[in-house]
Amino acid sequence: MNENLITIRNLKTWFDTPRGTLRAVDGVSFDIRKGETFALLGESGCGKSITALSLMQLVPEPAGRIAGGSVHLDGDDILQYSEARMRDVRGSRIAMIFQEPQTSLNPVISIGDQIRETVLQHTSLKNDAAKQRVIELLDSVGIPDPKRRYEEYPHQLSGGMKQRIMIAIALAGEPDLLIADEPTTALDVTIQAQVLDLLKKIQADTGMAILLITHDLGVVAGMADRIGVMYAGQIIEQADREQFFKTPRHPYAEKLFASLPGDMKRGQALAVIKGNVPALTQEFTGCRFVERCDYALPVCNDTVPDWLDSDVSCHRFDPNWQKLFATQQAQQMQAESINRVEPAEELLLEVNNLKVHFPVHTGLLRRVSGYVKAVDGVSLSIRKGHTLALVGESGCGKTTAGKGLLQLLPVTSGEVVYDGMDLCRQNASTLRKLRSDLQIIFQDPYSSMNPRMLVGDIIAEGMIAQGIAKTKQQRNDMTAQLLQQVGLPVDSVNRYPHEFSGGQRQRICIARALAVNPKLIVCDEPTSALDVSVQAQILNLLQKLQSELQLSFLFITHNISVVEYLAHEVAVMYLGRIVEQGHVDEVLHSPKHPYTQALLSAVPVIDPATQQEIIHLEGDLPSPLNPPMGCHFHPRCTHATQACKDHYPQAVSFSGTHTVSCHLYATS
């Protein structure tokens, strides 16, 4: 068990770019033992994926090259292998699964044939025996009815199923090491729980080692035996799971934990890591983290920290320097408390029975053959200065609900009452005036700004459209003030969006929304494209703005810990309808609906003590084109009865605020 399967020493992968040599991986060393799970943890751009690709010798050439180091697999340095020899290693010794199962499968070949290709390549099986093996593999990754599925094509499968197929392909060569590059990032939590469980089960059965690459501390806590933390192309700390989660040592790891949102931190500002990851094109003369570190001393600036015997690369733990740090207490930022707005009772906006149906056209004459009921009768109420979180898996209609509420999509029926007016029944000019009160922030800060406009023009656009500031001077003043409010330098106005990082762009988007003095902002997963430390900055900013400006947020997200941290009220959506809503503590701490219970149990948690028994949901989210009869959730529900199949349950009220739509609690 303790024998090393793969030994990586001083691996360097460099990219030649017009701006100089980019040292994406700069001296990485670690071992993976047989049968263990080693997790590489780090934020985007730190070199995790490039490390994995280097092991497989799949670094994109000619831009990238492996500049040095060794990778010993069972004693042989595979970096010295020729491409032809390496091909035998790939798939049969080391296999890999990727983040996006959608793009990893060939859409025009049936899934059975795609798996069989690998079987034929790496085993001596032929014809029927190979097909038999494929069916076994499909069975082992938990695909129901594998014989029939053999003939199916990738588009007929859901995301979770596709990731299972990818795992089956990886397993076909019976590899010793499986590299899983963010295997569940593109999946929903309930599906993520299924896939992670599957990986664990396969590992127990076959005894293969897993190199898990992820940015999610929760996934690491559930999966890894040992952990390597990467930062700016280097591993800065290695530890066992228990040790790491008990006492992370490197200041960066420490900060990562501190920046995670959660209900414990409600009402406080989250810790943020100041600054940005340094450019990897430079020569480092000191610690790479020095500019962002709270403990930094002059020595960190001039001396590159060595890899210490205690498996961490930081001067604080170096016996030579330790004394210096003993006197130097970290300039720890006190968790600054944020004036949490207490809910006013005044209602800002009320949504009654909102329906957004998209017609489906088929046939030559494009007749309407059915409707995708993306949002099918949603009722919400948002109070002044309040945050309502709308939670659900992808495809449940939460974004459509948000956009329908803002009248950005044609609403089929229902009403959205704001300021005594039903927004769905206003004419274009009245609605145009009302738009300044209701704004939206999008998920992807990269696509939400016109790349051809200057930041100043982007922010001023809403003011011009709404006639808020009449003169150019007024607009410029307001823009400068807004930029300060969101924590950006005033000279940003004359730059283009692509010059900013993801977090900064999200700040610009917030400034743009604030420019028209809104009362309500729909935040559509504003932090899910960002790294944890950046997410903390944005969440802090949103909280600050809420307390300063008495804003209301409709916060659309699938991230439960953000909800715990930020929301006052929660509504859980499933297939176009709200199944449970209530105060945040009620819903998250005593969930009543079986779906809410399963969803919450599937969220990976860091502290193993709080890990609940995961309630596994069978199958995937049904299609909103053809929702199940009765309660939408009954095919996946363990408590389903005949009543659930017959009709949709009425909402049952538990307290003044907490309501659930489930037959389990039907009073009659």
Partner 1 sequence: MNITSNTIAWWQVMPNVLWTDWLIYLLLIAVGVFVYHARRHEHLRAPWRQILRRRLAMSSCIILLSFATIGMLDSIHFRQATDLRDDGSLRYSNESVSLFDQLVLPLKNNTEKTYSAPFATQLYSKENIEAADGSVSRDYPKLKYGGAHLDNAGRDASKDIQNRIVTATWHAALAIVLLTLLFAIWQSMKNKTQLGCVLLKMWRGEQDGLPWKTVITTLGSIILLIFLSRELATVYHVFGTDKVGQDVFYLTLKSIRTGLVIGTLTTLIMLPFAIMLGIMAGYFRGWVDDLIQYIYTTLSSIPSVLLIVAAVLMIQVLIDNNPDAFTTLQQRADVKLLALCFILGITSWTGLCRLLRGESLKLREADYIQAAQAFGVSNFKIITRHILPNVMHIVLILVVLDFSGLVLAEAVLSYVGVGVDPSMISWGNMINGARLEMAREPVVWWSLMAAFIFMLLLVLTANLFADAVRDAFDPRLRN
Write down the least CB distance from residue 466 to partner 1, Å: 6
Write down the least CB distance from residue 517 to partner 1, Å: 12
Region binding partner 1 by CB under 8 A among candidate stretches 36-44, 171-179, 330-338, 431-439: 431-439
Query: What's the CA gap between 42 and 35, in Å, rounded?
Result: 23
Nearest to 482 by CA among 448, 458, 450: 458
Write down the least CB distance from residue 516 to partner 1, Å: 6
> Please, are residues 260 and 561 in contact by the beta-carbon 8 Å criterion?
yes
Region binding partner 1 by CB under 8 A among candidate stretches 73-81, 167-175, 390-398, 435-443: 435-443
| C-beta closer to partner 1: residue 222 or 404 | 404
Region binding partner 1 by CB under 8 A among candidate stretches 142-150, 509-517, 582-590, 596-604: 509-517
Among 67, 431, 480, 664, binds partner 1 (CB under 8 A): 431
Query: What's the CA gap between 437 and 419, in Å, rounded?
Result: 10
Nearest to 521 by CA among 358, 659, 660, 384: 384
Q: Is 557 helix (H, G, I), strand (E, B) or coil?
A: strand
Residue 452 vs residues 386, 411, 447: alpha-carbon distances, Å: 35, 31, 12
- How far is residue 408 CA from its own chain's centroid? 25
Nearest to 282 by CA among 16, 22, 67: 22
> Please, are residues 166 and 101 in contact by the beta-carbon 8 Å criterion?
yes
Q: How many residues interact with partner 1 (rule CB under 8 A)? A: 32
424 lies in the binding site for partner 1 (CB under 8 A): no
Query: What's the CA gap between 505 and 497, in Å, rounded?
Result: 7
Among 147, 201, 425, 432, binds partner 1 (CB under 8 A): 432
304 lies in the binding site for partner 1 (CB under 8 A): no
Write down the least CB distance from residue 100 to partner 1, Å: 18
Write down the least CB distance from residue 594 to partner 1, Å: 34
The site string for partner 1 over 113-142 (x = CB under 8 A, - otherwise) reads: ------------------------------
Q: Which runs of E-coded beta strand occur in 419-510? A: 421-422, 438-441
Please, which residues bridge with residue 27 across strands? none
| C-beta closer to partner 1: residue 261 or 462 | 462
Nearest to 208 by CA among 9, 33, 76, 2: 33
363 lies in the binding site for partner 1 (CB under 8 A): no
> Please, are residues 466 and 478 in contact by the beta-carbon 8 Å criterion?
no
Beta-carbon count within 10 A of 321 CB: 17
| C-beta closer to partner 1: residue 299 or 468 | 468
Among 253, 438, 482, 551, binds partner 1 (CB under 8 A): 438
| C-beta closer to partner 1: residue 179 or 459 | 459
Place of tokens 């002059």: 298
Write down the least CB distance from residue 363 to partner 1, Å: 16
Among 433, 472, 589, 639, binds partner 1 (CB under 8 A): 433
Amino acid making up residue 351: V
Contacts of 527 (CB under 8 A, 6+ apart): 506, 534, 535, 538, 539, 557, 559, 562
14-33: which residues touch partner 1 (CB under 8 A)?
A: 17-18
State both tokens at 527: 């932090």
65-104: which residues touch partner 1 (CB under 8 A)?
A: none
Write down the least CB distance from residue 448 to partner 1, Å: 4
The site string for partner 1 over 482-501 (x = CB under 8 A, - otherwise) reads: --------------x-----
- How far is residue 47 CA from its own chain's centroid? 18
Helix segments in 173-270, DSSP class H: 189-206, 217-223, 241-246, 251-258
Region binding partner 1 by CB under 8 A among candidate stretches 227-235, 322-330, 510-518, 648-656: 510-518
| C-beta closer to partner 1: residue 37 or 443 | 443
CA dihedral 460, 465, 471, 472 (to 10 degrees): 30
User: 274 phi and psi, to 5 degrees?
Assistant: -70, 160
| C-beta closer to partner 1: residue 163 or 448 | 448
Let me know if 84 is exposed, middle or buried by CB neighbors in 10 A (0-12, 13-18, 19+): exposed
Query: What's the CA gap between 599 and 622, in Å, rounded?
Result: 16
220-239: which residues touch partner 1 (CB under 8 A)?
A: none
Contacts of 148 (CB under 8 A, 6+ apart): none
| C-beta closer to partner 1: residue 330 or 465 | 465
Q: How many residues does the chain have?
A: 668
Write down the least CB distance from residue 29 to partner 1, Å: 30
Q: Is 431 helix (H, G, I), strand (E, B) or coil?
A: helix
Query: What's the CA gap between 622 and 644, in Å, rounded?
Result: 16
| C-beta closer to partner 1: residue 196 or 513 | 513
444-483: which residues touch partner 1 (CB under 8 A)?
A: 444, 447-453, 461-462, 465-466
Among 213, 223, 356, 440, binds partner 1 (CB under 8 A): 440
Among 435, 558, 632, 634, binds partner 1 (CB under 8 A): 435
The site string for partner 1 over 547-586 (x = CB under 8 A, - otherwise) reads: ----------------------------------------
Handedness of CA 516, 522, 526, 532 (dihedral sign): positive
Write down the least CB distance from residue 452 to partner 1, Å: 4
> Please, are residues 569 and 389 in contact by the beta-carbon 8 Å criterion?
yes
| C-beta closer to partner 1: residue 371 or 496 | 496
Region binding partner 1 by CB under 8 A among candidate stretches 49-57, 72-80, 218-226, 433-441: 433-441
> Please, are residues 493 and 453 in contact by the beta-carbon 8 Å criterion?
no
Region binding partner 1 by CB under 8 A among candidate stretches 151-159, 221-229, 430-438, 556-564: 430-438
Region binding partner 1 by CB under 8 A among candidate stretches 47-55, 154-162, 294-302, 403-411: 403-411
Under the rule (CB under 8 A), what is the footprint of partner 1?
17-18, 403, 406, 408, 431-433, 435-436, 438-440, 442-444, 447-453, 461-462, 465-466, 496, 509, 512-513, 516
